[in-house]
Amino acid sequence: MSLSPKVQISSHPLILSKLTQLRLHDLPAKDFREGVKAIGSMLVYEASRYLPLADVPNLESPVAPFTGQTIPLRIGLSPILRAGIGLTDAALEMFPEATVLHLGLFRDKASLQAIEYYSKLPSQVTADIVFLLDPLIATGGTALAALNMLTEWGLSPSQIKIISVLGSKQGVQHVSEEFPDVEIYIGAVDDILTEKGYISPGLGDAGDRLFSTAH
């Protein structure tokens, strides 16, 4: 089963070495949070590589006039609560003027279906590009629910880029088949999805590990 060309799996040494640390079962929550943020920063950087630029003329440096460049787009960041919060600061450091569009979804442990409980989307579309922040793509159900919420809001799939630390091959394939025009930037993809819906070897429950709520 091959993945779509729209799925960009990182081969960067910094991301892969950080991800190795995140997989460790005894990594303290502080280090886990810092690792997720670091990987998020690098993935957002990669996902931004081909954003358009517009000239900004009539600027002055200390030495001479110049024409600069800026990204002429309204940027939106859409973290899936609660684990997506772990990627939000990293994305805001890249795009400090971005609109933050929180989506509340959780996965029912019995059915593995995504349940919506919160949405903070304005009445009108306020972004030209939205980075959907979802640290783990396991079954893909949560990402798909979020994509449906964003497209129903008025975005086209080509306006959405998913930022994810880790996914299962099955889950990532599911998302890319349902939304073939959505780009996915992901740290790594593991082959196995367990019967309980966990990525294997994976890194456990990202939300629990971010916020020290594991039982």
Q: What is the pTM of this model?
A: 0.92
Percent of the chain clearing pLDDT 90 (strictly above): 79
For residue 196, pLDDT over 70 is answered with: yes
Q: Would you state the pLDDT for residue 76?
A: 96
Tell me the mean pLDDT in the region 147-165. 96
pLDDT in tens, 107-128: 766 666 777 777 878 888 999 9
Q: What pLDDT score was predicted for residue 119?
A: 82
pLDDT of residue 50: 93
Is the model's pLDDT at 32 over the cut of 80?
yes
For 128, counting Cβ atoms within 10 Å of its Cβ (0-12 exposed, 13-18 middle, 19+ buried), the class is: middle
pLDDT for position 114: 74
Give percent of the chain above pLDDT 70. Answer: 96
Instruction: Check residue 111 and give its pLDDT.
Output: 67
Report the C-alpha gap between 176 and 195 in whole angstroms.
21
- Short-list 145, 125, 126, CA closest to 134: 145
